[in-house]
Structure 1
Amino acid sequence: MTQQPMAQERRPANEGSKAAARNRAALVAAAREIYAAHGLAAPLSAIARRAGVGQGSLYRHFPDRAAMAAAVLEENVRQIERAAAAEDAAFAGVLGVLTWHLTESAAFIDLLRAEGATTCRTDGRTHALVLADRVERAVLRHLPPPPRPAAADDLMLAVAMVSGAVTGLTREEREGRALAAWRLLGVEVGPVRPFDA
């Protein structure tokens, strides 16, 4: 005998695209955390678990590892661009957001070392160069007038040098090393944090 649902019992509403957008954002955030802890070779199943979604949902949004890494990179670049475009943006603050991404995302470091980046499909190097160029343009917009910490041509070299110092098992260790590298270069960096719109 089958039980019929009572009138006051209702199925949960299907949230459709809202749930899909929420799941995608959760997957990107989870991937950033997993990649920071375990590198780009981390299993996709760990990302799905951290995001609280099934693997089917992960593969609907990101058919492979390259697509997942590309999404993390794109979100990192968007945050830096938003930080640079903010009304009260300053060079040190934008560098603080950039440094946060350096300490949080191994994939982002690979992006900034675009010659070796292979994280985004077949044309990965080209895609990485485009994203690195977007980061450079966003930060250059706030480069202080002379005398400045680095010439405009040297900015991405300085970023690459700092990214090379970002090592350590914990985020705090990576942040400490990044800030020490900026200090050695004579560059003031604002609070190391993600950009909050």
Structure 2
Amino acid sequence: MTQHTTPDERRPANRGPKAAAGNRAALVAAAREIYAVHGLDAPLSGIARRAGVGQGVLYRHFPDRDAIASAVLEENVRQVEQAADDEGATFAGVLGVVTWHLAQSAAFIGLLHADGANGRFRAHALAGDLSERFERSLRGCLPDGHRLGAADAPDDLMLAVAMVSGAVTGPTPEERERRALAAWRLLGITVGPVAPFKG
């Protein structure tokens, strides 16, 4: 009996060692997409298929589930840092990048709620460091006198982010983005264009 594969299950061509950087980037992008739908418990085989590589390639770059989850979280935070460090960065603009990641990546939402993480993945052990970097980036572009930067309420910034991320639910990135923007609006906070950072 011949087994037919669907386009998503096609066996990828071996592109050789020169494709390593591209393969790694494709795996991180695929993991973000898969995690957005299935969370951190998603099968690694699905990530490899989505990236267009074999499972052996995935394991060469990421030896276990923790390593790929950590890479996705690191990439999310790195993009927020780059957006905040960009010349002419605004708080609203950086929130647009944050909102994109909230809508696209269930793993990122888990990071922002690290206190409730069950510790199942080593990636959660990195959450404290990544969360601090994330908060530092946001604080760095808060305008002087912004109510989320008030000295007498130092937790308000991250509390607002947690409230918005808690509202980010829905079956599609578009629905999650819509809910995130509605939550920011209810908090009276302006958000710039929702998009990944492209420096």
* 2:196 matched residue in structure 1: 194
Higher Cα Rg: structure 1 or 2? 1
Deviations 1:105-145 (A, max 9, x none): 11101111111233642xx4441011000000001001122
Structure 1 residue ranges without an equivalent (≥5)? 1-13
Match of 1:187, as an amino acid?
I
Aligned length: 181
Please state if 1:129 is matched with 2:131: no
Structure 2 residue ranges without an equivalent (≥5)? 1-14
Pick closer, same or farther for the CA change 1:60–1:146 going to 2, 3 Å.
same
- Aligned Cα root-mean-square deviation (Å): 1.5
1:61 Cα offset (Å): 0.8
CA distance in 2: counterparts of 1:41 and 1:85, whole angstroms: 33
* 1:41 matched residue in structure 2: 41
Whether the 8 Å CA contact 2:96–2:193 is kept in 1: the answer is yes
Q: Could you say what secondary structure the match of 1:26 adopts? A: helix
CA distance in 2: counterparts of 1:102 and 1:119, whole angstroms: 21
CA distance in 1: counterparts of 2:124 and 2:97, whole angstroms: 24
Deviations 1:3-53 (A, max 9, x none): xxxxxxxxxxx863x411110000000000011112111111010000000
Please state if 1:176 is matched with 2:178: yes
Q: Could you say what secondary structure the match of 1:38 adopts? A: helix
Q: TM-score, normalised by structure 1?
A: 0.87
Match of 1:135, as an amino acid?
F
CA distance in 1: counterparts of 2:87 and 2:120, whole angstroms: 33
Deviations 1:51-76 (A, max 9, x none): 00000000111111111110000000
CA distance in 2: counterparts of 1:15 and 1:144, whole angstroms: 48
Deviations 1:129-168 (A, max 9, x none): 1100000000100112225356353111110000000000
* 1:140 matched residue in structure 2: 139
Whether the 8 Å CA contact 1:69–1:119 is kept in 2: the answer is no
CA distance in 1: counterparts of 2:69 and 2:138, whole angstroms: 22
CA distance in 2: counterparts of 1:172 and 1:53, whole angstroms: 27
Match of 1:107, as an amino acid?
A
